Structure 1
Amino acid sequence: MDISKIIFRTILAVVVLGGFFVVGLYSGHHRNGLHQLVYGTFDQTRLVIKELPNLTKSRPIHFLRKARYDGEGVTVNAGPDKTDEYLLLSGFFKDHNGVRLIERDGTIVHEWNVSIFDTVGDPSFCRNPPATEWNAIPHGTIIEPDGTITLGFESCGMIKLDRCSAPVWAQTELITHHSPNFMSNGDIVIAGGEFVPDGPNVQWPYDDEYWEDLIFVFSPDGTLKKSKRMTDLYIENDYQAILTATGKFATWINGEFHLNEVEELSPELAPAFPMFEAGDLLLSIRNRNMIMVVDAEMETIKWHQIGPWIRQHDPDFQPDGTITLYDNNTDETNPGRRSGGSRIYRVDPTTGETEIVYGGTPETHFYSRERATHQMQPDGSVLVTEAQGGRVFQVDSAGEIIWEWVNRYDEDNVTWMHDASILPKSFFEVSDWSCS
């Protein structure tokens, strides 16, 4: 080829690319339509490439984590022979989201298949509509004596499935998130979300569109009974100083509060909490490192405490008048200063005094940056769901591991465990768990 043609084509290519570069700089500076088109196309292409393992169902990338523990399934079963108990496990099992009822030796008694497309149908109403089942994250499972389960999909809808995984109802009108809980009258309380677009509905202290967190109470058939916006709750209780404590009025991308748990104080436990009343609600506000108790009408904040936990989950009222919670402790980069790993905390709301029930030492290390649950047992042991560690374990009152489940995916990885609980077999009225 003529060398002059090579030089000409090279110069032409440089000029064209340079022109695109200059146009890109100009459009990027002015944020015009061309910029949006180019960068929007780039982002979409990058997203599709990233999501290919999910779209092709070759690898559940959103649920995978590097394994920190050996074995698969039940790896420790050293506690007392409690043949009168079941464990309810919710997680991503190999290739699907599911809920399992198992014996302590790992024998599966029953399994529910949890599918967002089979239950809510079109998930376009979700905050981040999932493209596949592998993009949908269940969060929190509660069960009834007849084997009916209720759970929520993260920032999407809440569903109820019968014993054979058939939908009973799906709540698709409102966005719910995190764990539902039964109330003493059979209602269901859960956190929710609502997008507030820029305009007249934006209220102080926000100056732009934002995601609001809400408390929702639903009847047993999935009908909304009442709700409360967290911003209103703060302002009505003169908590403006805490509401604006971030020092800026532009809200967090995931919401100012990230309300991740609402639990009712039952009539049975109320006598242990003289400063509260039956029906009061315990809230966990992750982005504020705060837990609080409000009255049943969701009008008055009766108590709150910030820390020492960091980005906590799953606070529970306890029979001894204390509150326990899962401290995610995302400051794991400073193990010397923060002891490293997650912890189970106990706080006395009358004094504010706290203690670590389990974790915080090299010998008791466990960690889940997000999510995770715990359940205190009558004998002083505690069941812990190390969600992103793909592990559920139980430690006795002396801190010894007496039961462990590892949700193995392959040689190097585990998949998430969403939550777990221990239930007495006498709780159930089901004698035959089979389904046609």
Structure 2
Amino acid sequence: MPDTRQYEESNTTNTGDRLFLTASVIGIAAISFGLGAFVVLAEVPPYQSLKNAWRAGTALWEQRTKYTDVERLDFWSPARTDQTGVTIHDQDKAQNGLTLYSSGDGPHAVLIDMDGNIVHEWRMPFSAIHDETSPIPNPQKDEFMHWHTAKMAPDGNLIVQYTAAGDTPYGYGMAKIDRNSKPIWKYLGTAHHDFSIADDGRVYALTQEFRFNTYPNRKQLRPPRLDDFAVILSPDGKEIKRVSILDALINSNYANMVDFAPYFANEDILHTNTIQLIDDKTAANFAYGKAGDVVLSFRDLGIIAVLDMDAEKITWATRGPWLGQHDPDVLPNGEILLFDNQGQFADPDAGFSRILQIDPRTNAITWQYKGNADQKFDSNIRADQQRLANGNTLITESSGGRLLEVTDSGEIVWEFHNPIRRDDPDNPGKKLVPVVSQAERISDARADLFRSTAPASNTGTSNAGEAQ
């Protein structure tokens, strides 16, 4: 007869071992959870390393899954109209000239006449200038980029800034290109959003990078943090000056302004979207900055500021009746013209955007343009404007893919709709239009140069390209 006592003892031992092992695993898990909770709540090492790894992994997953189709990038918006090209042109009231704009459908810019005919076009992908010196080792595909800003230099050549979707930093750099879209120089610092060209050919630009420094008494500014810099480039594209904008603000009398940032902005605290050089002409009547200073716009803080590039300090800053603003321009009379993206609440049917002219001494609104139920005006992000020589204002309504010129009384005397269209993959039967981030009217000798040498194949091509 088998000895069952040995079997029972063995079975009891195995059960006990399993219970002990289970209890040990549960105990280790509980201890690990407790330690993890302590590390996270107390923010002790290796809290930051774990947080950084999690954020990097999340960003990579989002890039691989969300940014797969060009039409799903935020460079495209639902088309509000079937109209394309120039739809309004009052020859007696509009400022004659050529209009330069860049479009969200790729790294290119178009120069059109007042009837929408293509006078010239530039195209150059980022892959044509990228090399091992770039801080972006694995850039996005060319079709996932566009020229956020393209401006004509005094010599008639073009300076452009590359912006990518689904990457951080999203500013990829700048280049100066000739009429044949060949690079004259390239700057592979992480330039983003905007730049300003001085009469002597120097370029004032914005760059961004991750920083890991901390500031006393401002624990909300946790590293890693995407910080902005103001840089000066020589006429041949070499960096000759670089100033940390956040340091310049923290070390100024306006440091407390950073404490009122919205919760979502602490990792990109300033989100600087504009840099305008104050020259002798604009400095003459502007009490808050001198020639050589730059005007900056901090979108999420709602701040317009002046940075002294020599002292590396913010010398003036203000907030006003605007929300998510872009492109504050100091006018010759000392007032400031800006695009108020989301601050028009009085009439939602008219859109939430407006153009404001502000007296900086009082923040009083001295002029404004806003839409109406028939001409909705709305661009929640991006956009800019330009005060023209005849007193009209050229406006870039980015999200609508529209350019419009308005008089002092608010009459639209010229209007252009980006003609490019694509099918909306998420809404069958609907169309998308690429954003127009920035535009400028060229009415000086540079316009005459392009008119006199425009290729015959381009003249007479209406509506700036074919709708797609």
TM range (shorter): 0.7 to 0.9
Cα distance, 1:88 vs. partner? 0.8
The alignment partner of 1:367 has SS state of coil
Correspondent of 2:153 among 139, 144, 169: 144
Correspondent of 2:322 among 284, 306, 309: 309
Partners in 1 of 2:322 and 2:336 — Cα distance? 13
Partners in 1 of 2:187 and 2:147 — Cα distance? 14
State the one-letter code of the partner of 1:388.
S
Correspondent of 1:396 among 374, 384, 407: 407
Instruction: Give the conservation status (yes or no) of the 8 Å contact 2:258–2:301.
Output: no
The alignment partner of 1:153 has SS state of strand
Partners in 2 of 1:256 and 1:83 — Cα distance? 39
**Larger Rg over CA atoms:** 2
The alignment partner of 1:288 has SS state of coil
State the one-letter code of the partner of 1:185.
D
Cα distance, 1:292 vs. partner? 1.4
| Change in 2 beyond 3 A, CA 1:343/1:263 | same
The alignment partner of 2:190 has SS state of strand
| Change in 2 beyond 3 A, CA 1:214/1:377 | same
TM-score normalised according to structure 2 size: 0.75
State the one-letter code of the partner of 2:362.
T
The equivalent of 2:363 in structure 1 is 352
Correspondent of 2:297 among 284, 290, 293: 284
The equivalent of 2:378 in structure 1 is 367
Cα distance, 1:310 vs. partner? 0.7
Instruction: Give the conservation status (yes or no) of the 8 Å contact 1:343–1:357.
Output: yes
CA offsets per residue over residues 252-274 of structure 1, 9 Å max, x none? Answer: 23x11011111112212322224
Partners in 2 of 1:348 and 1:37 — Cα distance? 47
Partners in 2 of 1:295 and 1:226 — Cα distance? 12
The equivalent of 2:353 in structure 1 is 342
| Change in 2 beyond 3 A, CA 1:261/1:407 | same
| Change in 2 beyond 3 A, CA 1:275/1:177 | closer
Instruction: Give the conservation status (yes or no) of the 8 Å contact 2:349–2:372.
Output: no
Correspondent of 2:266 among 246, 252, 267: 252
State the one-letter code of the partner of 2:178.
D
| Change in 2 beyond 3 A, CA 1:355/1:111 | same
State the one-letter code of the partner of 1:112.
W
Q: Does residue 85 of the first structure (1) align with residue 97 of the second (2)?
A: yes
Correspondent of 1:226 among 236, 241, 249: 241
State the one-letter code of the partner of 1:221.
D
Cα distance, 1:403 vs. partner? 1.2
The equivalent of 2:174 in structure 1 is 158
CA offsets per residue over residues 294-333 of structure 1, 9 Å max, x none? Answer: 334253433221121111111111122211001111x67x
TM-score normalised according to structure 1 size: 0.80
Correspondent of 1:432 among 434, 450, 453: 453
| Change in 2 beyond 3 A, CA 1:38/1:292 | closer
State the one-letter code of the partner of 1:113.
R
For structure 1, the 5+ residue unaligned runs are 1-21
Cα distance, 1:392 vs. partner? 1.0
Alignment of 1:6-405 (within 5 A): 47-54=63-70, 59=71, 61-80=73-92, 85-93=97-105, 96-121=106-131, 125-126=135-136, 130-154=139-163, 155-172=171-188, 174-197=189-212, 201-204=213-216, 205=218, 206-246=221-261, 252-253=266-267, 255-329=268-342, 340-359=351-370, 361-362=372-373, 365-405=376-416
State the one-letter code of the partner of 1:71.
Q
Partners in 1 of 2:245 and 2:58 — Cα distance? 36
Cα distance, 1:116 vs. partner? 1.2
Cα distance, 1:60 vs. partner? 6.2
Instruction: Give the conservation status (yes or no) of the 8 Å contact 1:113–1:165.
Output: yes
CA offsets per residue over residues 222-251 of structure 1, 9 Å max, x none? Answer: 111111112221222133321223488x96
Cα distance, 1:418 vs. partner? 1.9
Cα distance, 1:105 vs. partner? 0.5
The equivalent of 1:413 in structure 2 is 432
The alignment partner of 2:441 has SS state of strand
Instruction: Give the conservation status (yes or no) of the 8 Å contact 1:381–1:395.
Output: yes
Instruction: Give the conservation status (yes or no) of the 8 Å contact 2:278–2:290.
Output: yes
Instruction: Give the conservation status (yes or no) of the 8 Å contact 1:65–1:389.
Output: yes
Partners in 2 of 1:423 and 1:233 — Cα distance? 34
Identify the range of structure 1 (184-193 vs 422-431) with the bigger mean alpha-carbon deviation. 422-431
Instruction: Give the conservation status (yes or no) of the 8 Å contact 2:248–2:307.
Output: no
State the one-letter code of the partner of 1:169.
W
Query: Percent identity of the aligned residues?
Result: 28
Partners in 2 of 1:28 and 1:178 — Cα distance? 43
Cα distance, 1:433 vs. partner? 4.1
Partners in 2 of 1:218 and 1:146 — Cα distance? 16
| Change in 2 beyond 3 A, CA 1:233/1:101 | same
Partners in 2 of 1:39 and 1:242 — Cα distance? 27
State the one-letter code of the partner of 1:287.
D
Instruction: Give the conservation status (yes or no) of the 8 Å contact 2:76–2:104.
Output: no
The alignment partner of 2:121 has SS state of strand
Partners in 2 of 1:243 and 1:338 — Cα distance? 33
State the one-letter code of the partner of 2:392.
S
For structure 2, the 5+ residue unaligned runs are 1-25, 38-45, 164-170, 423-429, 458-468
State the one-letter code of the partner of 1:383.
L
CA offsets per residue over residues 329-381 of structure 1, 9 Å max, x none? Answer: 1x67x665897421111111223322442016545531111111101112221
Cα distance, 1:171 vs. partner? 1.0
Question: How many equivalent pairs are there?
Answer: 398
Instruction: Give the conservation status (yes or no) of the 8 Å contact 1:90–1:141.
Output: yes
The alignment partner of 2:266 has SS state of coil
